[in-house]
Amino acid sequence: MKSSAAPKQSLSSSIRQEKIQQWVVGIILAIGGLIVAIPFIWMILSAFKPESEVMQLTPTLFPEQWTIENFHNLFVNMNFGLYLKNTIIVVLWSFVGLFLNAMAGYAFAKFEFKGRNQLFFMVLATMMIPGQVTMIPVYLILNQMQLTNTMAGIVLPGLVGAFGIFLFRQFMITIPDELLEAARLDGASEFRVFWQIVLPMTKPILAVQGILTFIAGWNSFLWPLIIANDENLYTLSVGLQLLKGQYGGNFALQMAGSTFMVVPIVIIFIIFQKHIIDGYTISGMK
Amino acid sequence: MKSFLANKTPYFFIAPAIILLSLFSILPIFVALIISFTDLDLVGIADWSSISFVGFENYKEVVSDPIFVKSIFNTLFYVVIGVPLVIVLSLAIALLINFGKARIFKAFRVVFYMPSITNVVAVAVVWSYLYNPQLGLFNHVLNLLNLPDVPWLQDPTMAKISLILLALWRAIGLNMIIFLAALQGIPKTYYEAAQLDGANNWKQLTRITIPLLRYAIFFVSITTMIGWLQFFEEPFVMTNGGPLDSTTSVALFIYRNGFQFSNFGYAAAGSFILFIAIIIITMIQFKIQNKQQDY
């Protein structure tokens, strides 16, 4: 790295300087990271405090008295059990959407057919349409289909997405044609080729998309809010919004609701973070 | 028979996705355009014959609606303050993480990325508590430092800044990852050559790193700008546009007119104005980018 003519002394001092720089950067990042993490830490700690402790004017950092009463209240006084069930249904449907994205991406990557380029362009063009423009007409269309206040109405508008189709196509285009031809010659049906050869080869992108799909489904807010008229179809985020309105002053309960929503996602993220973060490199987001 | 099937296969594979996208992305654009020229409301949904064509009336009305005008200025405030902050901070964090050699630096990626995967409602609920004037952590910390209370969500200007802080916290992670991916794509040999020439860290940053990140910076600024022009969830959950509509964004204005007042035609007109603004601003950015490349 350094020219060999440099005296030994300056080499060791430059190594020391480098070390100091590494420490300074590490400390800056640690302070920044702590600031970023404060809302999470405060949320979790407050969720385990009794309501009276949260209402004190001088807040405590750690709960003086740990309690799970707030979480108990979520399920007894509020319908968080029902919201959880609905959220899980939404998540399962979004995986169906992921599968449809993969199917479309496969066809765009590996088949020659009439109108392919035009259709693919149309798919990409939908990425540019802002949600605010489609929000009202989609509601009106669902209303015409008599799907307001149904699970289908909540799930359908976001089921497939152009970005997912695009990522699958980009990845599947690298699968060698010979492989697919060989399977076809062996008598595999087109669907079996897709299911048993293409999908397993798509694992890296499937992992990223699967995790992101789970997170998006778990967090889904706008369509459940617009479509669900009664509590039976509320997801966790809509339920939490309701809780904020009904128990505006009870911050301990609100923090418990938020913790219940955020912590599962954080755990899943920490387990799979390598896939997600590396996924951006795979997706060619350079 | 076989070739007939082979011809149909791709259509079978794309059909579900294409049908859903047509129904919920393409068709709505045309529906929105049509209803923006009508007085469609709740009565109109039940009885189509009561809908009447009003020409450009909705557009004329919406641009003279003081709340719409206010929401435009609020949205511009969010964009002008928020977008540069997102770019500078996420780039700075990406550079610092990329500079680090120890393993711990990989853990920082996770910490900074975390806010962007969490649910916006949950996060807004938590931040409302942090911003609370009496019980909130932020004012308590300020008091400990002998500083006065800040009216986080009560003062019209401060409320906007408070929402920007929350959105900034959520936006840094994803953009940081994009910058990190781009940084890892820069060949190491460039830096080695620069070091041989005696360039210091700052020179390497401004002469090699930043110019080579130009495309990533452009990508992040376009997507961030489009995202902030559609700023919706934070004001919706935290302030519902208040105090005195000082945090109402254009997107929130559209949502409110559409789903709370059921003025579908009026809201559709507002949404088209937003759409056109997004297209124009994006085109301007592309123009500027092209000019820079010529240079």
Report pLDDT digits (tens) over B52-89. 888 888 899 888 999 999 999 999 999 999 999 999 99
Q: Is B53 helix (H, G, I), strand (E, B) or coil?
A: strand
Cα–Cα distance for residue pair A2/A106, rounded to 1 Å: 50
Encode pLDDT of A240-266 as tens digits: 988 888 887 788 888 999 999 999 888
User: Does residue B43 lie in a domain region?
Assistant: no
Encode pLDDT of B244-277 as tens digits: 889 999 999 999 998 888 889 899 999 999 999 9
Least confidently predicted of A58-62, A119-123, B173-177, B231-235: A58-62
pLDDT range class, residue B46, cuts 50, 70, 90? confident
- Whether the CB-CB separation of B121 and A237 falls below 8 Å is answered with yes
Q: In this structure, what CATH number is given to the domain that contains residue B129?
A: 1.10.3720.10
Compute the nearest-CA separation of B223 from chain A (Å): 10
Compute the nearest-CA separation of A252 from chain B (Å): 10
User: Does residue B264 lie in a domain region?
Assistant: yes
Cα–Cα distance for residue pair B148/B128, rounded to 1 Å: 19
pLDDT value for A204:
80
User: Does residue B148 lie in a domain region?
Assistant: yes
Ranges of residues in chain A whose predicted pLDDT is under 70: 1-11, 278-286
The mean pLDDT of chain B is 87
User: Does residue B22 lie in a domain region?
Assistant: no
Structure ipTM: 0.83
**What does B154-220 look like in DSSP terms, one character per residue?**
TSHHHHHHHHHHHHHHHHHHHHHHHHHHHHHTS-HHHHHHHHHTT--HHHHIIIIIHHHTHHHHHHH
Token output for B290:
């092209």
Question: Among residues of chain B, what percentage have pLDDT more than 90?
Answer: 33
A-interface mutation test, from B126, B212, B259, B263, most A Cβ less than 10 A away: B126
User: Does residue B2 lie in a domain region?
Assistant: no
pLDDT for B295 beyond 70? no
User: Does residue B12 lie in a domain region?
Assistant: no
Q: Is B38 helix (H, G, I), strand (E, B) or coil?
A: strand
pLDDT range class, residue B198, cuts 50, 70, 90? confident
pLDDT value for B80:
94
> Total structural domains in chain B?
1
pLDDT value for A4:
47
pLDDT value for B1:
42
Encode pLDDT of B140-151 as tens digits: 888 888 888 888
User: Does residue B170 lie in a domain region?
Assistant: yes
Residue B244 sits in which domain range?
Answer: 56-294
pLDDT value for B249:
92
Phi, psi of B183 (to 5 degrees): -60, -40
* CB atoms B130 and A190 under 8 Å: no
**What does A60-129 look like in DSSP terms, one character per residue?**
-SS-SS---HHHHHHHHTS-HHHHHHHHHHHHHHHHHHHHHHHHHHHHHHH---TTHHHHHHHHHHGGGS
pLDDT value for A236:
92
User: Does residue B7 lie in a domain region?
Assistant: no
A-interface mutation test, from B106, B129, B196, most A Cβ less than 10 A away: B129
CA B87 remoteness from chain centre: 12
Greater pLDDT, B187 or B269: B269
Compute the nearest-CA separation of A204 from chain B (Å): 17
* CB atoms B109 and A165 under 8 Å: no
